[in-house]
Each structure stands twice: as structure tokens, then as C-alpha cells.
Structure 1
Amino acid sequence: MGHGRWSTADWRDWAGRNTAGRNREEIFTSRGLLPEYDPARIRIRESRDGPDNAASTPIVLASDVTGSLGEVARILMQDKLGVLVSEILARKPVSDPHIMAMAVGDATCDRAPLQATQFEADIRLAEQMRQLFVEGGGGGNGGESYALPWLFCGTKTATDSFEKRGKRGYLFSFGDEPILPYVTREEAAQFLGIRLERDATAAECLGLAQRSYDVFHVILREGFSATDGGFHKALRTWQPLLGRRLLILDDYRNLAELVVSAIQVAEGVDPDDAASSWANASAAASVRAALAPPSSGFFGTWFR
């Protein structure tokens, strides 16, 4: 998939008709998992070059939709998806973005702990995102199933970017909770349609995804991580896995700007230049804080 081309005019028209002035329940009207977004029924998701996108770059956006974090999905659908795509096209840190959206939950208690759209390059992305089931579940088991997108992308996606050009895509996940330490064989079979010989650790799932994606996670200082105690619990599970590719965002309303800037920096732009490029002072400050290293030092190997 990935035909067509993003148009700002199409986005304005679509958002005006479908999301402007609406609350989360009015935007996301699905009340259950639709078969076309069920990973267990998906054989493969493809990002392929075509006449409109000759050098496609796959970008995966996997958002936690448990509890209050469904609000992140609402913000994306009302405004920030347009910012994200149009700014990638304008700044050109990568060529011809093909974006797949994923909704992430908790495999131990949710009906739909993972959903996946197609890779899309035009307004069809927004149409599919709106059809995702924002379950709002989660449980009190100390984390969410953030490793599911890694396992899915490592086993059920195929991209021309990697297969033809040896260039990895980008996989971003967003959430406020610790990552659960493994995906069980039963969860992989039930929710992904994948047969595993044994349970897979989060690190093993990450390794599969990293073969063809540069993987990042953004801890949102909301919900579980709004307090220092919750934040540090989450941090202890994420930092050993991702190191400097773990980003901390103080305001989820600036998530689109951070994703664009992180891709820019991974492609060689100076972090301070990336942050300073945003005219909105709040976005610039949030991005600068998220891109700052843990202590002062050399940026040359940032993300690498």
C-alpha cells in the first residue's frame, strides 16, 4: 500500500467534516475491533514504491489508547496528524513517507491490545485511523503491551525501503506506562496470529523490529507517568531497552513536532536546530527538552 500523495487541502477538508469540534467518542465511533485492522487476520502490511512515492519511507506510529491516553489519539485526529505529515514533506528528513498507525493496549485484559492500519501516503491514513477502536482499557498489572508493535513489525511487515535500498524505516511508540517484559506464546497466537515456540521477551521483540526499523519510544508525562514515582517506574523498564532512543515528552500536544524533529536528528540535523525550527514556543521548548542528552556532551552519535 501507500499510493497517492498527502494534500494539506484534503486534510483541512477531511478534518473539518470529520473531527473539528468533536470529542473522542464522536471521532472514534468503532465499538469493537474491525477485522481489517486485526493483526491476527493480517498476513502482511506492505510499504511499496510507486509512481507517487518512488522512494518510500515507512513510518509506524503506535499509540497507547488505554485509559486517558485516548486523548492523544483525539489530538492527532483533530490537528496534529496534519502537522506531522505536512512537516515531514516540507522538511524532507526522509523521502516519501508511508505511515501506518497502530493502537496499543494490554494483552492481559483488553479485547484489542493491538490494531494496525495499512501503510498510507494520503488522506486514507486519517480515514483508517478514525476507524480504530479506542478501547480505553488497560489493567492494574504494572504496564502495557508495547512489545506487540515490535513483534508485529518484525514479522508481518515488508518494505521496499529496506528490501531495495537497505534503509530502515522508523517506528515510534507513545505511552505513559512501563513496558510489560514479554509477549506470551498465547498472546502472540491470539492477537497477532503468530506461532512462537516460547514466550518472547520485550528485548527479543525489539531485536526483530530493529532489523528493518529505527525504534523509538516516547514516555508521555501524563497518567501513570504524571508523578515522579510512576515516571521512574516506567523509566526503569524502558531505558535498558532503548537508551537514547527513549524520549521524554512533557506535553503530549507537542508529540507531532517531536516525531518530526527526532527523524530530522536521526538523519543528521543538529538537535538544537531541530527544536529551534518550531515557531510555537511551547513546541520548541518541549522538543528541546526531549532531545537533550542526559548530561552535556557530544551529539555526534545521538540515536546511533
Structure 2
Amino acid sequence: MGYGGWKPEDWARYSSKKVVGQSTSTIYSSRKIASEFDPKNVTFRESLDSSEHPNSTPISIGLDVTGSMSRLLQVVAEKLGVLVQEILDRNPVTDPQIMFNAIGDAPAGDVAPLQVTQFESDIRIAKQLTELYFEQGGGGNGFESYPLAWYFAARHTKIDCFDKYGRKGFLFTIGDDGYPEKLTQREIQRVFGNVVEADIPVKEILAEVNRKYEVFHLCMAQGGSHRDSDLEKWRELLGERAIRVSDYELIPEIIVSILEAMSGKSIDSVVNSWDGTTAVVVKEAINGLAGITKSNKLVEF
């Protein structure tokens, strides 16, 4: 997928009708998972080169859609135009193709613990985002099922940047909770329809997805389920790729800044490209990436 191109006028028209001034429940009005976003119905999502986009770069963004994340979803919808336009204007990656995941809590019994849109390059990014089901589930188990997005990306995406050139895509998950120690056989079969021989430890599925994607998790310090101990645990797993976010409103700017840092731009120059409070929040978020991106030698898990 990934045909067409992003046009600011398309976004202005769509957002004025669907997003601006609307509540989260109105923006995300679906009351059940759409069949086309159900992983059981998806063999692969594809980010492919074309005459329009000869050097495609897949960007997967996983959103926590449990009960405490209403504000996250609203900000992502409201500022989607900022995210896409800044990526295009700053050009940290070539020919971006964006897909969204909606992530819930499989062990807690969420009906739709994972939803997956297509990789797209035009206004369909927005249309599919706002068609996701905001389930508002989750449980009191201390985590959400973020690694489901890793499993899907590892085993159910085809990306030309990696398959043709060995160049990784980018995968972000965003939420305010911890992660499970493993994906169980039962939940893998329920969510994906895949039969596996054993439970998969989270470190193993991370190592698998990291062969194809640069993986980051944005830890929302403002979320209702946030605990400092969760950030510490995320950093034990991901190192400085576990990004502390102190302001919901600046998620798009932080994602763009991570892409710029990973492209080889210095942390200082990235930070200084933003103004005022934005620069302060971005610096807090990405300062630790200096060691990862130094000399453009990326750390492997």
C-alpha cells in the first residue's frame, strides 16, 4: 500500500469535519473492531516501493486504547497533520508510509486487543486512524499487550526497505503501562489465528521484530496507570529507546525528533529546531539517544 500523497488541504477538510472540536468518543465513533483491521483477517500489511514512492519507509505507531488513554487518542487525531507534515518537511526518512495499531489488553479479555490499519501515504492515514475502535478495556494486571504490535510487525508485514535493501522501518508503541513477560500461545491464536509451539518471551519477540524495525516505546508520564517503576522496567528492556513523555500534546514532535536523531542529525540541532516549551520537552525525551545515534552506529538488541 502507500499510494498517493499527503495534501494539507485534504487534512484541513477532513479534520474540520471529523476531528476539530470533537470529543474522543466522537472522533473514534466505531463501537466494534472493523473486520479489515482484525489481525486474524490480515496475512500481511505491505509497505512497498512504487513510482510515486521509490524509497518507502514504513512507520508503525501503536496506540494504547485502554481506558486511561482517552487524551492520548485525542491528541494523536488532532495533531496528525502536524506529525505527517513535519515528517515531510524535515525529511528524516524517505517516502514515509504510516500505519496505526490500536493496542489493548489480551489477558484481561479485551475483545480487540490489537487492530491494524494499512501503511498509507495520503489522507487514508487519517481516515483509518479514526475508524479504530476505542475499546477502553484493560485490567488491573499492571501491563497492556504492547508486544502484540511487535509480533504483527515481525511476522505479518512485508517492507521493501528491509527486504530489498536491509534498511529498517520504525515502530513506536505509546502508552502509560508496563508490558507482559510473554505472549501466550492462547492469546496468539485468539488474536492472530496463528498456532505456535510455545509461549514467546517478550525479549524473544523484541529480538525478532528488531531485525526489521527500529523499536521505541513512548512512556506517558501523564497517564492514569503510569508508575515510575514501569519506566525503569521499560528501560531494562529497551534502554534509551524507552522514551519518557511528559506532555501528551507533543507526541508528534517527539516522534519526528526521534526520526531525525536516528537519521544522524545531532540531538542539539534537533532540539534547537523547536521553540520554547517544545524544545524543553523534546530534549528531555530524546537526550538519551545521543549514545545510540553517535556516528550513526545503531545499537542492536
1:5 touches 1:53 (CA, 8 Å); kept in 2? no
Name the structure 1 match of 2:248. Answer: 252
Q: Which amino acid aligns with 1:251?
A: D
What's the offset of the Cα at 1:225? 5.4
Name the structure 2 match of 1:276. Answer: 272
Q: Which amino acid aligns with 1:284?
A: A
Residue 94 of structure 2 corresponds to residue 83 of structure 1: no
Name the structure 2 match of 1:125. Answer: 125
Name the structure 2 match of 1:155. Answer: 155
1:60-209 equivalence runs, <5 A: 60-78=60-78, 80-109=79-108, 110-209=110-209
What's the offset of the Cα at 1:237? 2.5
Q: Match of 1:223, SS? A: coil
What's the offset of the Cα at 1:288? 0.5
Q: Match of 2:216, SS? A: strand
Q: Distance in 1 between matches of 2:182 and 2:37?
A: 23
What's the offset of the Cα at 1:9? 1.4
Name the structure 1 match of 2:218. Answer: 218
Q: Distance in 1 between matches of 2:294 and 2:243?
A: 17
What's the offset of the Cα at 1:33? 0.9
Q: Which moved more, 1:64-73 or 1:18-27?
A: 64-73
Name the structure 1 match of 2:257. Answer: 261
Instruction: Determine which of 267, 284, 288 is the counterpart of 1:293.
Output: 288
- After superposition, the Cα gap between the structure-2 partners of 1:260 and 1:197, relative to the gap in structure 1 and judged at 3 Å, is same
1:167 touches 1:212 (CA, 8 Å); kept in 2? yes
Q: Distance in 1 between matches of 2:291 and 2:218?
A: 21
Q: Distance in 2 between matches of 1:293 and 1:85?
A: 24
Q: Match of 2:71, SS? A: helix
Q: Distance in 2 between matches of 1:61 and 1:284?
A: 22
Q: Match of 1:177, SS? A: coil
Q: Distance in 2 between matches of 1:297 and 1:33?
A: 40
Q: Which amino acid aligns with 1:293?
A: G
What's the offset of the Cα at 1:299? 6.4
Q: Which moved more, 1:238-247 or 1:96-105?
A: 238-247
Aligned residues: 297
What's the offset of the Cα at 1:297? 7.5
Q: Which amino acid aligns with 2:75?
A: I
2:82 touches 2:252 (CA, 8 Å); kept in 1? yes
Q: Distance in 2 between matches of 1:284 and 1:137?
A: 34
- Superposed CA deviations along residues 22-75 of structure 1, whole A, max 9, x for unmatched, are 001111110011110001111110011112211100000001111121321111
Per the normalisation by structure 2, the TM-score is 0.95
Q: Match of 2:82, SS? A: helix
Q: Match of 2:243, SS? A: strand
Name the structure 2 match of 1:54. Answer: 54
2:220 touches 2:244 (CA, 8 Å); kept in 1? yes
Q: Match of 2:244, SS? A: strand
1:216 touches 1:247 (CA, 8 Å); kept in 2? yes
1:56 touches 1:161 (CA, 8 Å); kept in 2? yes
- Superposed CA deviations along residues 249-281 of structure 1, whole A, max 9, x for unmatched, are 1001100000000011011011121111113x2
Residue 228 of structure 2 corresponds to residue 231 of structure 1: yes
What's the offset of the Cα at 1:223? 2.4
Residue 21 of structure 2 corresponds to residue 25 of structure 1: no
- After superposition, the Cα gap between the structure-2 partners of 1:17 and 1:211, relative to the gap in structure 1 and judged at 3 Å, is same
What's the offset of the Cα at 1:19? 0.9
- Superposed CA deviations along residues 84-119 of structure 1, whole A, max 9, x for unmatched, are 111111111110000010111100121111100000
Name the structure 2 match of 1:10. Answer: 10
Q: Distance in 2 between matches of 1:211 and 1:299?
A: 17
Gaps (5+ residues) in structure 2?
none
Q: Distance in 2 between matches of 1:45 and 1:299?
A: 28
Q: Match of 1:291, SS? A: helix
Per the normalisation by structure 1, the TM-score is 0.94
What's the offset of the Cα at 1:303? 5.3
